[in-house]
Amino acid sequence: MLMSKSLARAILFSLVASTAACGESTVENDLPLEHVASSRHALSHDWSASFSSNDPSAWPEDIAIDGSGHVITVGQYGDSINFGGGALSESTWYGTFIAAFGSAGGHLWSKSFGSAWIMSVATDSSGNVNVAGVITDDVDFGGGTVLNGSAGGYGLFVAQFDASGNHVWSRRFGSTTQFVYIEPASIAVDSSDNILVAGIYQGDLAFGSDSSPSSSYGGFLAKLEEDGDPIFGRFFAAANSSTYVSVNAVATDPNDDSVAIAGDLTGTTDFGNGSLTSYNSGSSTDVFVAKFDDDGDPSWSKSYGTTTAHCADVVIDSVGNIDITGTFDDAFPFGSVTAYGWLGSLLVAQLESDGTEAWIQSELYLPSGSGIAVDPDDNVIIVGSYYGTPTFGGGYLPSAGGSDVFVAQYSAANLSYLDADNFGDSGSQLGLGIAVDSSGTAAITGAFDSSVNFGGSTLTADPNGQSHIFIAQLSLP
């Protein structure tokens, strides 16, 4: 089964009931955290907020923190939504948004576009906000240039806004005459402010002189200059129409601007180092990790799994270690060791810069990692969701009745468990994205349909039960 970013999140969001009031938002500041698993590395609440629309399709896709501590989130909504600067609405049946908040949670700016879907966000050294997504029709992102959607399919776009939300540039990639399916699942920025975009596609896709039509679902990696001009494109074909390569995440190494991508593989593909085939002659869904130098030349690639595994996110720490998160069933061979799961288990794994398997941790009974980041000490921070009573660090962390959000911390030294915090009630709460800045502040985002408390006052959904977006800023110990 194709487990692209949108499908994985659609499955999660099917758990959330669908009805809420337009324009409602709440922000809570500076109250002690109430829900923690232990006090060893407990998070402290800075601020939290919730936002809703008049349509069940309001959800966040990604979150980032810039160098000034501003929090930026992107996502989708129906009808209208208000982030604190007035209602946003589109004439199309859905809209996509960018919203920026100050370090204390106050609204800075927000923008909305119709016939578009922003899927990922990353900031650069100047505070510019870079976003990637797809368009299905003509869209003006503010530069006076209308970008044309492809014939019956999607056009890939990358756009940049300055720290005040003003349009800087926008570029479109993909055929304008043939059907193209594209999901730019992830975006990252390197130390020179070059932009990396990765995802999945089917059809004609080109970045400058690099192109590779794909009749099946293949993966791609592109590097753009700070002004959006393409530097290179790399394409990873699936063997046939029943297999796929889904690049779900991209990260850059702060030391040498090398690039890691991670995602899901069914069947066979080649990242440039020879073929990789998923387990059981290609019938399973495996996790893959591949690394490239700053020119896009392949360094190494590896795949892992036995039955079904999913990689949601990747990050590279200050010494070049590559950390991934996701979920897996059954056994997960990783170098010389094998992790075992049951009923869906949290995956946390680390590879060294050269691809050597370093450490792996798993938590049993339905936790699923959605986002990963590292703190200033290279400790690994995971956000995700779970049901029931999963294990964290050998103990149990019961949910409050429905699906709860968790934030789990693992040490830089050997991925040993440090702490896990859970947030939820009898309804559904989903943790979908995380960013951590150089001061040790974490921003998380997700969705909920009832109520949730991150340490301030309780954020409460409309009685009709429509899904809400939440943002919470939490200080790490």
Which string of DSSP letters, residue by residue, matches 164-179?
TS-EEEEEEES-SSS-
Q: Output the pLDDT for position 5.
A: 56
In this prediction, residues 125-137 reach a mean pLDDT of 96
Query: What percentage of the chain reaches a pLDDT higher than 90?
Result: 71
Q: Is the model more confident about 42 or about 416?
A: 416
Q: Output the pLDDT for position 54.
A: 74
Q: Which of 219-223, 242-246, 433-437 has the lowest mean pLDDT?
A: 242-246
The whole-model pTM stands at 0.92
Q: Which of 235-244, 347-356, 457-466 has the lowest mean pLDDT?
A: 457-466
Q: Output the pLDDT for position 79.
A: 85
When the pLDDT of each residue in the chain is averaged and rounded to a whole number, the result is 89
Q: Output the pLDDT for position 461.
A: 84
d(CA 139, CA 386): 37
Length of the chain: 477
d(CA 311, CA 299): 20
How confident is residue 20, by pLDDT bands cut at 50, 70 and 90? very low
- DSSP code for 116: E
CB neighbour class for 147 (10 Å; exposed up to 12, middle 13-18, buried from 19):
buried
CB neighbour class for 331 (10 Å; exposed up to 12, middle 13-18, buried from 19):
middle
Give me the DSSP letters along 206-230: EETTEE--EEEEEEEEEEE-TTS-E
Helix (H, G, I), strand (E, B) or coil at 416: coil
Q: Output the pLDDT for position 6.
A: 54
Q: Is the model more confident about 282 or about 435?
A: 435
Helix (H, G, I), strand (E, B) or coil at 247: strand
Give me the DSSP letters along 33-99: ----S-STT--EEEEEEEEEBSSTT-EEEEEEE-TTS-EEEEEEESSEEESSSSEEE-SSS-EEEEE
Q: Output the pLDDT for position 433.
A: 99
In this prediction, residues 106-114 reach a mean pLDDT of 98
**pLDDT tens digits, one per residue of 266-287:** 999 999 999 999 997 777 899 9
d(CA 206, CA 227): 17
pLDDT at 142 > cutoff 80 = yes
Q: Output the pLDDT for position 176.
A: 80
Q: Output the pLDDT for position 266.
A: 94
CATH of the domain spanning 5-475: 2.130.10.10
Q: Output the pLDDT for position 464.
A: 62
Give me the DSSP letters along 356-371: -EEEEEEE-SS-EEEE
**pLDDT tens digits, one per residue of 161-203:** 999 999 999 999 988 878 889 999 999 999 999 999 999 999 9
Q: Output the pLDDT for position 1.
A: 43
> To which residue do tokens 């990873």 refer?
236
Q: Which of 22-36, 60-74, 80-94, 313-327 has the lowest mean pLDDT?
A: 22-36
The answer to whether the CB of 10 falls within 8 A of the CB of 429 is: no
Q: Which of 188-192, 361-365, 436-440 has the lowest mean pLDDT?
A: 361-365
Q: Could you tell me which residues are beta bridge partners of residue 322?
A: 316, 351
Q: Could you tell me which residues are beta bridge partners of residue 125?
A: none
d(CA 403, CA 20): 19
